[in-house]
Amino acid sequence: MMLVPCPNCGPRNASDLRYVGESHSRPNPNEVTPQEWRTYLYMQDNPAGLLKETWYCRSGCRQYFTALRNTSTNEFTNHPLPGNKTGAVDPSFHYVSESKSDTNDGASS
């Protein structure tokens, strides 16, 4: 089980959320070449390390948020304030996903 820190609901099981993908700034489609647009749509960095990614809290607050996760350890190193779609992060916040597997409190569905 991987706990994802929703900025509105708190830590939630990853199955309660939807992984949207890597967070990239969207280029203006009227100003980029078709190749640059295709790169934005389909090419991912997929690093083994820190990755800024977008999540959707589908079973809770139904809000999108951006979090910074280490893809090697699944540790979330920080998360944005609620409603912040720009991915701005608080560098003082440190969240570590716990690996408790059988501690479901039944609050989620």
CA distances, 42 to each of 45, 65, 68, 88, 104 (Å): 10, 21, 20, 24, 36
Yes or no: say if 54 and 6 are a contact pair by the CB < 8 Å rule.
no
* 17 binding Zn ion? (CB under 5 A): no
* 11 binding Zn ion? (CB under 5 A): no
Q: Which stretch binds Zn ion (CB under 5 A): 6-14, 42-50, 75-83, 93-101?
A: 6-14
Residue from 3, 4, 6, 51 in contact with Zn ion (CB under 5 A)? 6
* Chain residues in the site for Zn ion (CB under 5 A): 6, 8-9, 57, 60-61
